[in-house]
Structure formats: structure tokens, C-alpha cells
């Protein structure tokens, strides 16, 4: 390909819309253009990268015996209603784009394909003899992300490889999961990425194993915690650790009962209590008042007790709450602090008059009386909004589910708080705390659940001499043992060896193909531009003619160009009449791994070979240069290239 025909438009300055290096570079170097928020055009250069990534993904998936397929992006609501995910994905913070067709049937644009594939499996897979199977596709996904950002990292339309496997038993599922783990490691290594596998949150269904692959980079949205011995790595959403031991309350302050009242005027935070009374944060039990909202309109107030020096892990909390209530009330739509602001907003939007002043916020104790909920129930219990038919008499507003407030708090206590023999906590009255309270003294039997966020510096469970270190990661892949969640919901059953019917075991495996391409830039760039790993570079070598007016140089460049093409290399020829400096800058910016400069040395058959990543350069005879580039590119294509091999 000739640069003059490439429609290459590079930008000198960083575009204002881009925050992280890879996003800036992809825009500046002419790889992508923004069409709308989270929606990008993949320009020809990027499309070549995406196709190379896809080819590697295909090779590795095919090598495991997986079958490529292509499923529809328009998906009927009915399938998602049967799996129970329609409401969660379309209402509230749901991320599925959805629409109605001309017949009034509801459809969603595929954010993922468990429903479609499981329904197909129900139709096609009947016997254990057909199992296991693993189907994959590489396709555009749509997600109405709450915060699309960083270019291709979090788009609303992006390319994903997703695979779904079906099995007759759990052992077979584990085998395929392990095969996918191996394939993913090879894919990321071949793409030139430094990726780590971390334990991941498996969501509310629990139990099932799940692992994410993180490309380590400061721009990553995820926090990962790892131990130096390499034995433990987890997403912080999921991570566990040993908490620091608490500082015990001095003997004189331990009453063993409900505690002694202490005046704490205006002291509503841990810091204020610690500052005013010399407590240690680990001597306190803090109580968070939250409200969980469910699909069927059920509202569950939560009282969460944590040790004062610990932080809540929202993902663990959501899993715990879902596990207890989703069976009866459908999808957990969200958990928010039950604050004056939330109540005011509910009052405004729903025309209600909830009074939160009865709650001693800032002074809550774990034994807050359930009576407060019944007391405020008449104003909290909400009827569905009145429905008015449109003037045409056809379109009625959808009726929100009738809201119903639980009469009891769901009280969950983190082990760090539950294990305190005596503590300081709110007295459930304004300006008062209690000192020396115990769980027994408060007449509570705490329901203990791991809810605390593991922190960098925490000691590890597998070896208390190891501590956790934090790093930022970009999630490029996720593998998941789903179990029977979807097959049971969608009736995907098979006949097992003993002739009995049972639901299929399932796994699912995703790779963010477009996110991966940008992650490669995030890990492989310098001050001048991108340094593509050879295996996914849009072109492997670029020939720059220093002075295109010089017929000798042009001729030699054309000869090299033809030679590389004949050798099957992806070669770019910068034949533009621009100054050499401009062309060198562009070559650095777009990041082609090898650059051959045809300049004054052309007369004596000498060219300059520059390796982009290391900037090593050397003058070589034409033949030596040809040989060096072909050899370097061929070894680089395996994804295991050693920078400097050609120029060293």
C-alpha cells in the first residue's frame, strides 16, 4: 500500500476529547474518528489491526476445537424475559439499547448472546453424544454504557469475541474452561500484550469460577490486587485478604452490655469521633443505611455494619443482597444510600412525602429499631403512578411496578465488625454514641457476610507474610463457568448417558477485540507515537523515500516495495512528495515496527533500517536490509519477537 493512497490524515496536537495516551494516539495517527459518544469509525489502518487481532483469536479458538458462528444482533425481548434479564438490562441503569418494530414487538440490540445461543442449544442439542460443543463469534456488540469513555476502551458499539460452551457435566465444563484459559494466554501473548489472569467476581449466582485477563496499564479502569509471590491475583471487586488486627478497647470501657452513652455532638463521621475522643477507627462499628431496589418494586432497607477502619465493597454487598432476595423479587436494580437527597428525589418524582428525620443519621447503631420502618410506612408505601392514555388513546405510559417497602431491615455484618468483643457505635439518637457495646449486649446475632474491600497493603490469606499490591488493569477478557443458570431458565435440556433429561452445563468466554487493540497501544507507545507489536501492526515495514524527486531513490524504493510484497510482507511505501522529516514523524506516529529509509546512500546501494520500538538504527546494504527485515517480521509474526533482533 502506498501512503499517498491511504487517506492518511495525522494530527499534530492532542485532540481535546482524549484523556489517555492510547486514545490520543489512535486519533492523532488516523486510526479512528469519533462519530458520537462511544461510537467510532474504524479507519482503514485500525481495521487492519482489528483483522489481525481477530485472525489470532480465530486461530487459537479453532485450535481448541471451537466452532465459529454468527448470531443476530437484533434479539427478541421474549428471550430475555424468559431468562429474567429483560427488566434489568432495559430499565434503570440497564445497558441494552432496545426498540419496537413496526408490529410493536420489542427487540434489544445484543449486548451479549447467552439468551440467543441457549435457545439455539435447546433446539439443536438433544443428546450427550453431541457434547461438548463450543461456539464462538466475532461481532459488534451494543451497550448503552453509563460512562462511555477512553475511545475504544469503553464504547457503546464495540467488537467482541464471545464463545459459549455446552456440556453434559461439570468436569467437561472445567476442561473447556481450562482450554479457554490456555487459549486466552496465548492470544494475549501473541498480540504483544502483558496480561495477567485475575480472580473475578462471578456475580450473584456465586460458586462458579470466573477469571478476568487484565492488561496492566495506569489508564486501566479496574483495580487489581496481587501478591509478590505470584500466588494470588484478584480484581478488587472480588479480592479477599486478612484485615489488620483491631486495637482493643481499654478494659475500663468494655461494659459487655449495650454500652455507656457518650455525648458526641455533631460528630457524625469516624474521623470526628477518632479526633474528639482518641478512639482508634478499628474500635468503632459503623452502620450504613442503604436502600436496595428490586425489579418487582420491592424496596429493602439495609443496615450494614463494618469495622470503622474498613471500607464497603459494593460488589460483594450487591451479591449478598441478590442472593437473599432476587429469588423472590427479581433483579436487583441498584443499591443507594438512604439519604435525605434520595428521599427528596423520590418524593419529587413519585409525589410522595417520606420523612427521613426519624432516622438518626450519623448516629446509627446496628440495633436500629425495625419499628422505624413501619412508623414511616404510610408515607413510604407507594402506589404505582396513575396511568393516562395518550390523546390517540393508544399509547399508555408503562406502569411502574408497585413499590413496596420491607417492614424489616436486612442487617448484614462484616466479620471484622462481628468479631469485635466490644466496640463504639451510634446510640440511635442524635448526638449520642455508645462505648463498650457488645453484640450480645445489643441482643443481636449478626448475620456475617464478607463485605469489606481488600486494600493494598493487606496481608494475604494464602500466606500472611505476603501483602497485596495494587495495579491498574484494562479488562481484555473474561472466562466464566456459568453452570445451569441460562439452560434452566430457557429449557435447554439434553438426555444424559442414563437416559435422563437434564439441563446443559454452560461456560462463556469473552474478549474485547477493539478494546484489546487500544490496550496494545496503551502498553506499546512512546513520546513519538505507537510502537505496534509486529503480530498486530497494520503494516510490518514502511519504506520512506527521503527525497521522492530523486529518481534513483524512488527507483530503489519501488524495487524494495516489490520485493517485500513478493515475500508476503505487509509493506507500506511512503511515496508522498513531503519533506523527509514530515514522513519520519508520521512513520513514528503510526508505529510501523520497521522502517527502511532510502536516502542519499541509495547511490551506493545503502539504506537505513530503524526499529520503531527500540529506535535502533543501522546502515545496511540493500540485500542485508531485505534479509534482516524479512527475518525480523517472520519471527515477529509469531508474537514472540525480541525487539532489537533486526537492528542489533
- Retrieve residue 538's grid coordinates: 497494520
User: Which residues are CB-neighbours of 574 under 8 A, at least 6 positions away?
Assistant: 2, 3, 542, 543, 544, 545, 583, 586, 587
User: Which residues are CB-neighbours of 77 under 8 A, at least 6 positions away?
Assistant: 86, 98, 105, 106, 107, 108
Binds ligand ATP by CB under 6 A, chosen from 158, 184, 359, 486: 158
How far apart are CB 38 and ligand ATP at their closest, in Å? 7
CB 142 within 8 A of CB 73: yes
Binds ligand ATP by CB under 6 A, chosen from 23, 154, 434, 595: 154
Specify the residue, 57 or 412, whose C-beta has the smaller distance to ligand ATP.
57
DSSP secondary structure letters along 444-513: ----B---BPP-TTPBPSS-TT-BEEEEEEEEEEEEEEEETHHHHHTT-EEE-TTS-EEEPEEEEEEEEH
Which one of 151-159, 251-259, 448-456, 489-497 is the stretch in contact with ligand ATP (CB under 6 A)?
A: 151-159
112 binds ligand ATP (CB under 6 A): yes
Binds ligand ATP by CB under 6 A, chosen from 475, 540, 570, 574: 475
477 binds ligand ATP (CB under 6 A): yes
238 binds Mg ion (CB under 5 A): no
478 binds ligand ATP (CB under 6 A): yes
CB 27 within 8 A of CB 11: yes
Binds ligand ATP by CB under 6 A, chosen from 34, 73, 106, 145: 145
Q: What's the CA gap between 249 and 428, in Å, rounded? A: 21
CB 219 within 8 A of CB 474: yes
512 binds, among Mg ion, ligand ATP, none (CB under 5 to 8 A by kind): ligand ATP
For 111-185, strand residue ranges (E) read: 133-142, 157-167
Name the DSSP letter for residue 383. P
How far apart are CB 535 and Mg ion at their closest, in Å? 25
365 binds ligand ATP (CB under 6 A): no
Binds ligand ATP by CB under 6 A, chosen from 21, 110, 132, 155: 155
How far apart are CB 27 and ligand ATP at their closest, in Å? 16
- Tell me the residue number closest to Mg ion, measured at CB: 478
Specify the residue, 6 or 476, whose C-beta has the smaller distance to ligand ATP.
476
How far apart are CB 332 and Mg ion at their closest, in Å? 17
143 binds ligand ATP (CB under 6 A): yes
Q: What's the CA gap between 476 and 337, in Å, rounded? A: 32
434 binds Mg ion (CB under 5 A): no
How far apart are CB 475 and Mg ion at their closest, in Å? 6
List 154's β-bridge partners, or say none. 149
List 611's β-bridge partners, or say none. 594
Q: What's the CA gap between 604 and 528, in Å, rounded? A: 31
How far apart are CB 637 and ligand ATP at their closest, in Å? 24
Specify the residue, 156 or 478, whose C-beta has the smaller distance to Mg ion.
478
575 binds, among Mg ion, ligand ATP, none (CB under 5 to 8 A by kind): none
Which one of 348-356, 460-468, 473-481, 492-500 is the stretch in contact with Mg ion (CB under 5 A)?
A: 473-481
548 binds, among ligand ATP, Mg ion, none (CB under 5 to 8 A by kind): none
Q: What's the CA gap between 117 and 482, in Å, rounded? A: 13
Nearest of 128, 155, 125, 124 to residue 142 by alpha carbon: 155
* Residue 262: half-sphere exposure toward Cβ, Cα within 13 Å: 22
Which one of 73-81, 471-479, 554-562, 626-634 is the stretch in contact with Mg ion (CB under 5 A)?
A: 471-479
Angle at 237 between CA 468 and CA 340, to 5 degrees: 120
Longest dimension (CA), the chain: 96
Specify the residue, 18 or 183, whose C-beta has the smaller distance to Mg ion.
183
Neighbours of 499 (CB within 10 A): 8
Which one of 55-63, 153-161, 441-449, 493-501 is the stretch in contact with ligand ATP (CB under 6 A)?
A: 153-161
Interface size with ligand ATP, residues (CB under 6 A): 15
Neighbours of 349 (CB within 10 A): 10
Specify the residue, 26 or 597, whose C-beta has the smaller distance to ligand ATP.
26
How far apart are CB 182 and ligand ATP at their closest, in Å? 17
- Retrieve residue 279's grid coordinates: 478512639
143 binds, among Mg ion, ligand ATP, none (CB under 5 to 8 A by kind): ligand ATP
Binds Mg ion by CB under 5 A, chosen from 478, 493, 515, 637: 478
Name the DSSP letter for residue 380. H
Specify the residue, 87 or 160, whose C-beta has the smaller distance to ligand ATP.
160
Q: What's the CA gap between 337 and 314, in Å, rounded? A: 11
Q: What's the CA gap between 205 and 482, in Å, rounded? A: 8
- Tell me the residue number closest to ligand ATP, measured at CB: 512
Specify the residue, 48 or 478, whose C-beta has the smaller distance to Mg ion.
478
Binding mask 119-158 for Mg ion (x = CB under 5 A): ----------------------------------------
236 binds ligand ATP (CB under 6 A): no
How far apart are CB 141 and ligand ATP at their closest, in Å? 7
Specify the residue, 1 or 315, whose C-beta has the smaller distance to ligand ATP.
315
Specify the residue, 24 or 515, whose C-beta has the smaller distance to Mg ion.
515
Specify the residue, 141 or 478, whose C-beta has the smaller distance to Mg ion.
478
How far apart are CB 512 and Mg ion at their closest, in Å? 9
CB 139 within 8 A of CB 70: yes
Q: What's the CA gap between 327 and 259, in Å, rounded? A: 38
134 binds, among ligand ATP, Mg ion, none (CB under 5 to 8 A by kind): none
Angle at 590 between CA 588 and CA 593, to 5 degrees: 70
Specify the residue, 85 or 478, whose C-beta has the smaller distance to Mg ion.
478
How far apart are CB 158 and ligand ATP at their closest, in Å? 4
433 binds, among Mg ion, ligand ATP, none (CB under 5 to 8 A by kind): none
How far apart are CB 52 and ligand ATP at their closest, in Å? 17
Specify the residue, 210 or 455, whose C-beta has the smaller distance to ligand ATP.
210
- Retrieve residue 577's grid coordinates: 512528495
Using alpha carbons, list the distances in angstroms from residue 428 to 12, 87, 289, 354, 406.
61, 37, 12, 19, 20
Q: Which of residues 484-543 bind ligand ATP (CB under 6 A)?
A: 510, 512, 514-515
How many residues does the structure list for the chain?
648
CB 132 within 8 A of CB 165: yes
Q: What's the CA gap between 531 and 614, in Å, rounded? A: 9
Q: What's the CA gap between 553 and 557, in Å, rounded? A: 6
Binding site for ligand ATP (CB under 6 A): 112, 143, 145, 154-155, 158, 160, 475-478, 510, 512, 514-515
Please give the residue ranges that form the binding site for Mg ion (CB under 5 A): 478
Amino acid at each position: 500500500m502506498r501512503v499517498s493512497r491511504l487517506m492518511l490524515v495525522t494530527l499534530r496536537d492532542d485532540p481535546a476529547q482524549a484523556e489517555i495516551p492510547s486514545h490520543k494516539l489512535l486519533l492523532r495517527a488516523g486510526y479512528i474518528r469519533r462519530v458520537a459518544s462511544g461510537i467510532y469509525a474504524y479507519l482503514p489502518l485500525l481495521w487492519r489491526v482489528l483483522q489481525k487481532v481477530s485472525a489470532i483469536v480465530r486461530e487459537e479458538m479453532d485450535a481448541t476445537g471451537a466452532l465459529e458462528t454468527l448470531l443476530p444482533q437484533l434479539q427478541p425481548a421474549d428471550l430475555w424475559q424468559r431468562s429474567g434479564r429483560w427488566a434489568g438490562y432495559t430499565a434503570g441503569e440497564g445497558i441494552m439499547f432496545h426498540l419496537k418494530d413496526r408490529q410493536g414487538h420489542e427487540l434489544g440490540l445484543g449486548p451479549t448472546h447467552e439468551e440467543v445461543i441457549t435457545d439455539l442449544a435447546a433446539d439443536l442439542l438433544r443428546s450427550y453424544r453431541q457434547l461438548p460443543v463450543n461456539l464462538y463469534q466475532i461481532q459488534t456488540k451494543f451497550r448503552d454504557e453509563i460512562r462511555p469513555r477512553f475511545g475504544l476502551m469503553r464504547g457503546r458499539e464495540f467488537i467482541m469475541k464471545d464463545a459459549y460452551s455446552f456440556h453434559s457435566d461439570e468436569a467437561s465444563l472445567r476442561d473447556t474452561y481450562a482450554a479457554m484459559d490456555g487459549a486466552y494466554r496465548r492470544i494475549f501473548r501473541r498480540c504483544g500484550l502483558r496480561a495477567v489472569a485475575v480472580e473475578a467476581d462471578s456475580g450473584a449466582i456465586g460458586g462458579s469460577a470466573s477469571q478476568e485477563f487484565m492488561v496492566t496499564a495506569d489508564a486501566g479502569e479496574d483495580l487489581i490486587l496481587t501478591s509478590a509471590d505470584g500466588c494470588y491475583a484478584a480484581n478488587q471487586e472480588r479480592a479477599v485478604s486478612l484485615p489488620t488486627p483491631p486495637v482493643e478497647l481499654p478494659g475500663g470501657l468494655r461494659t459487655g452490655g449495650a454500652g455507656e452513652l457518650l455525648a458526641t455532638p455533631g460528630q457524625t463521621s469516624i474521623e470526628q469521633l477518632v479526633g474528639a475522643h482518641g478512639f482508634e477507627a478499628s474500635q468503632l462499628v459503623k452502620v450504613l443505611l442503604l436502600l436496595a431496589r428490586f425489579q418487582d418494586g420491592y424496596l429493602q432497607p439495609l443496615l450494614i455494619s463494618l469495622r470503622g477502619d474498613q471500607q464497603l465493597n459494593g460488589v460483594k454487598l450487591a451479591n449478598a443482597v441478590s442472593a437473599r432476595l432476587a429469588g423472590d423479587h427479581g433483579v436487583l436494580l441498584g443499591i443507594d444510600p438512604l439519604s435525605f437527597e434520595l428521599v427528596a428525589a423520590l418524593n419529587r418524582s413519585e409525589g410522595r412525602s417520606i420523612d427521613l428525620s426519624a432516622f438518626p443519621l450519623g448516629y446509627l447503631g446496628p440495633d436500629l429499631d425495625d419499628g422505624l420502618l413501619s412508623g414511616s410506612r404510610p408515607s413510604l408505601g407507594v402506589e404505582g403512578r396513575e396511568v393516562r392514555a395518550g390523546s390517540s388513546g393508544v399509547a399508555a405510559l408503562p406502569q411502574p411496578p408497585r413499590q413496596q417497602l420491607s417492614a424489616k431491615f436486612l442487617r448484614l455484618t462484616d466479620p471484622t465488625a462481628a468479631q469485635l468483643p466490644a466496640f463504639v457505635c451510634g446510640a440511635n439518637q442524635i448526638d449520642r454514641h455508645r462505648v463498650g457495646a457488645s453484640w450480645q449486649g445489643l441482643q443481636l446475632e449478626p448475620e456475617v457476610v464478607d463485605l469489606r474491600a481488600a486494600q493494598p497493603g493487606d496481608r494475604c490469606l494464602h500466606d500472611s507474610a505476603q501483602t497485596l499490591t495494587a495495579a491498574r488493569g484494562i479488562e481484555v477478557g473474561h472466562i466464566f463457568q456459568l453452570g445451569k443458570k441460562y439452560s434452566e431458565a430457557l429449557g435447554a435440556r439434553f438426555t444424559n448417558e442414563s437416559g435422563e433429561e437434564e439441563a446443559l452445563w454452560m461456560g462463556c468466554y469473552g474478549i474485547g477485540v477493539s478494546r484489546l487493540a487500544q490496550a496494545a497501544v496503551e502498553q506499546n507507545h512512546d513520546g513519538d507515537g505507537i510502537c505496534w507489536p509486529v503480530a498486530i501492526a497494520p503494516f510490518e515495514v514502511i519504506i520512506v523515500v527521503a527525497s521522492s524527486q530523486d529518481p534513483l531513490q524512488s527507483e530503489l524504493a519501488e524495487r524494495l516495495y516489490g520485493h517485500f510484497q513478493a515475500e508476503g510482507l505487509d509493506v507500506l511505501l511512503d511515496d508522498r512528495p513531503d519533506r523527509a522529516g514530515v514522513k519520519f514523524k508520521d512513520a513514528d506516529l503510526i508505529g510501523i515496527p520497521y522502517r527502511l529509509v532510502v536516502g542519499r546512500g541509495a547511490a551506493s546501494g545503502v539504506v537505513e533500517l530503524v526499529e520503531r520500538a527500540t529506535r535502533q538504527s543501522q546502515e545496511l546494504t540493500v540485500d542485508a536490509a531485505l534479509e534482516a527485515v524479512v527475518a525480523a517480521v517472520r519471527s515477529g509474526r509469531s508474537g514472540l519477537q525480541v525487539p532489537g533482533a533486526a537492528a542489533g
